[in-house]
Amino acid sequence: MTTSIRTFITLAIIALLGGCSVHYSTTGASIDQGASTVNVRFIENRAPITNPTISQKVTQKLRDKVTSQTRLIQVGDNEPRADYEFRGAITGYSFSNAAVTNVDKAATSRLNVTINITFIKRIGDKKGFTQSFTRSADFPASQLPSSVENNLLDNNIIPGIVDDIFNRAFANW
């Protein structure tokens, strides 16, 4: 009887494990089987005020991240429909006070950037999304925004937003 129970448990475990398939990658990206192309369209600038280079920087950073951390190949806008597609626009770009001293003077200022992204899946479960991603970075109010703006964008805000977009699209976060 003990042999029968062991045999049954062994067969149950084999059947259970044989029916499951999990796809792992070193980046944590989950790509549908059969997907091979992606189109990261140019992310337009629709914010009332903004840095003139941010659209190009965000677009290129997202393209680089997707192609370097997945097996997907970037295709152009004139190519047939890609398996995955990113469309987006910068909708918010502002400076604000983040901390005020006891004499009503700003001690810290903040740069806020919001990007609205639409992710289209034409393969697999076809569950895309439309979502706004916002990141901010603080800097001393004694500094001029123009003197710290590019550094904040390149080192804090753009990498953070690109990571958020990538994780939402490919890691289901």
Segments in 19-121 forming alpha helices (H):
54-69
Question: For the whole model, what pTM was predicted?
Answer: 0.81
Higher pLDDT, 126 or 119: 119
Q: What gap in Å lies between CA 13 and CA 23, rounded to an integer?
A: 20
- The amino acid present at 156, given as its one-letter code, is N
| 107 token code pair | 């001690």
Give the pLDDT score at 170: 93
pLDDT in tens, 63-82: 999 999 999 999 998 777 89
Give the pLDDT score at 6: 64
Q: What gap in Å lies between CA 64 and CA 45, rounded to an integer?
A: 20
pLDDT in tens, 7-58: 656 655 655 455 444 343 444 578 888 999 999 999 999 999 989 999 999 9
CATH numbers and ranges of domains, the chain: 24-170 (3.30.160.150)
Pick from 81, 3, 97, 68: nearest CA to 39: 81
- Please name the residues in contact with 171: beta carbons below 8 A apart, sequence gap of 6 or more: 28, 29, 30
